[in-house]
Amino acid sequence: MEPSAQGSTGTGSPAAQEADGRSRVPVQSRGSAGYDEGAERDRCGPAGAARGEHTHSETPSAALRFARAAEPAARPRPVVQRASVRGQILDALRTALVGGELLPGEVYSAPVLGERFGVSATPVREAMQQLALEGAVEVVPNRGFRVIVRDTRELAELAEVRALIEVPVMLRLARTVPAERWAELRPLGEASVRAAASGCPASYAEADRVFHRAVLALSGNEQLVGFAEDLHRRSQWPLAAGPVRRGRADLVADAAEHMAMLEALTAGEPDVAQKLVRGHFAPAGS
């Protein structure tokens, strides 16, 4: 058994809930465009939520919101298929990382996190192993998983690599993909605008990831899409200085660039689009 992080207390095994195919992980439905509108509203918890304090009196949620308000008793518990639990836990942990609920340098125990999700430690441990492969956490033997401590230099390096990969591809697509295909991406651009307006970093990170994935998918190169998506996720992990990196104004400006690029591409103006693409990936302050 892994000891709980930061003085965790409490007993009780959720394994029985998982055994009959039910858990407290909310079911998330995705729209036809691939962006989860329901999850967008739930990614950011209330201000002042406790950071990394493990007490079992708190309400579990899919984004690891450590708020103390109990869920309304009248709200029915959704049924989750066992096969989907690991994926939902992985999505929730990624959201918690981006949103700052899981702090750099802290160690988190799979059994304790499993208690919060209402599942056994197994799917949590499997999800954490995936995050370790992605470079977000590292295994601490007999204790759990430590969130990797990163600095601004690493973030800048990731941004540079993303630009080296994505900019040439997007510039080529600007001249080869017909306008109607670009118009089909407008719902994703609009979703990123709404997520940015919410001011929630986790909501915007997901909308931004979905938008860029859809653009690169037009290349037909699945290896490229997967590699670029991995870089995108790594660029969203928290910094040692704190979870907040970009304010609402920065997110709104970034999302507006998505729409400007789409408008230029839909209007058949590749030269304008190229300028916007280069500006979108330009380092801050350049």
Q: Domain 152-280 has what CATH class?
A: mainly alpha
Using CA atoms, how far apart are residues 23 and 15, in angstroms rounded to an integer?
A: 9
What residue spans define the domains of the chain? Answer: 15-147, 152-280
Average pLDDT over residues 18-26: 41
> Where residue 244 falls among pLDDT bands split at 50, 70, 90?
very low
- The reported pLDDT for the residue numbered 64 is 42
| Residue-wise pLDDT tens digits, 62-106 | 444 433 333 344 444 444 455 588 899 999 999 888 888 888 999
Candidate ranges 11-20, 188-197, 229-238, 239-248; pick with highest mean pLDDT: 188-197
Own/partner pairs for 125-133, CB < 8 Å, 24+ apart? 126/86, 126/89, 127/86, 127/89, 127/90, 127/93, 128/93, 130/90, 131/90, 131/93, 131/94, 131/97
Strands (E), 56-140: 107-108, 137-140
| Mean pLDDT over each residue of the chain, to the nearest integer | 76
What do you get for the CA distance between the two ends of the chain, in Å? 50
- The reported pLDDT for the residue numbered 131 is 94
Q: What is the pTM of this model?
A: 0.68
Using CA atoms, how far apart are residues 183 and 167, in angstroms rounded to an integer?
A: 20
Using CA atoms, how far apart are residues 234 and 155, in angstroms rounded to an integer?
A: 8
- The reported pLDDT for the residue numbered 14 is 43
- The reported pLDDT for the residue numbered 168 is 94
Is residue 24's pLDDT more than 50?
A: no
Average pLDDT over residues 103-113: 93
In this structure, of 80-84, 175-179, 227-231, 246-250, the range with the lowest mean pLDDT score is: 80-84
| φ, ψ of residue 142 in degrees (nearest 5) | 65, 10
CA angle 2-62-3, nearest 5°?
10
CA angle 52-54-57, nearest 5°?
130
| Residue-wise pLDDT tens digits, 153-164 | 888 899 899 999
- The reported pLDDT for the residue numbered 199 is 86
- The reported pLDDT for the residue numbered 100 is 82
Using CA atoms, how far apart are residues 138 and 121, in angstroms rounded to an integer?
A: 17
Average pLDDT over residues 119-125: 93
- The reported pLDDT for the residue numbered 246 is 64
- The reported pLDDT for the residue numbered 74 is 45
In this structure, of 56-65, 141-150, 266-275, the range with the lowest mean pLDDT score is: 56-65
Strands (E), 195-242: none
- The reported pLDDT for the residue numbered 236 is 83
- The reported pLDDT for the residue numbered 245 is 56
- The reported pLDDT for the residue numbered 200 is 86
Q: Domain 15-147 has what CATH class?
A: mainly alpha
Is residue 26's pLDDT more than 90?
A: no
